[in-house]
Structure 1
């Protein structure tokens, strides 16, 4: 598994630039770097002032090698919270060492401690390595569900109706 010098810690305000760098690296991997509109300053406000989401940082010795950004949602059917994993990324040089699995294990522990009924995330359909990894952990594809999105312009238009 992972080395004895590996640890997972909660991110702090000082990690905003690091988190931004991980987000950008993930966007490059997903071929979506042009979609990154945020900044370390915006992340500081969103994550550490408004606390809209939380972040775990994975470190090998003292070098950050990955992160997980998550927040809580709510299942009306279960009547319980859920943990939504927005982003999971491990530096390519450190993949295959169990660090992604360790982050997911820590997230599942957090979910259980908060009485969550489930943990969910999205994955791009072409990302076969990640899909296979998630399936190996027991994750199930929600084939009957489709993701829908209103982006900024559509949100503005809809908010102005009525």
Structure 2
């Protein structure tokens, strides 16, 4: 791994880059048609409402990957955790340890903030990512099923 790798937190001026990385990740996950957010929405929720954070992995002045994360809370642990929503490394930089470096950085942020855990979801078909996560000691939560209510169903339930 290149020892010039460093991290920086996203700034408001990075909104278009954040969106580009989100779109590239969605394309890789075969879900690009589900991306409906735009720069204005990202700016509002990340920078105005401060509901998520982004770090970039950089080589020199070039951003080669990113992670978008936010705090959740465990009532059992009685403390916050970090939830990793997106982790992405540009294709030409994969296989060089940068994904692991991003996760190590997130783990360090979690420890520094006294969080109880770092967690994320992974698509069932993404064997290379699953193998990678297992190699780091991550444990699949096989006893849990994710449920989601969104869109019109969310609006109906709210009434």
Q: Distance in 2 between matches of 1:51 and 1:121?
A: 20
Residue 128 of structure 1 and its aligned partner are, at CA, apart by 0.4
What's the C-alpha RMSD, in Å, of the aligned pairs? 0.7
Matched, 1:41 2:40: yes
Runs of 4+ in 1 over 3 A off after TM superposition: none
TM-score scaled to structure 1, two decimals? 0.96
Match for residue 68 of structure 1?
A: 67
- Counterparts of 1:49-88 in structure 2, within 5 Å, are 49-88=48-87
Aligned partner of residue 23 in structure 2, secondary structure? helix
Q: 1:123 Cα deviation (Å)?
A: 0.2
1:11 matched to which residue of 2? 10
In structure 2, what is the equivalent of residue 150 of structure 1? 149
Tell me which residue corresponds to 1:115: 114
Which whole-Å CA distance do the structure 2 matches of 1:71 and 1:4 have between them? 27
TM-superposed CA distance for 1:58, in Å, is 0.8
Q: Which runs of 5+ in 2 are unaligned?
A: none
Please give the per-residue CA displacement for 1:9-67, whole angstroms capped at 9, x wherever unaligned: 10100110000000000000000000000011110111011110000011111111100
TM-score by length of 2: 0.98
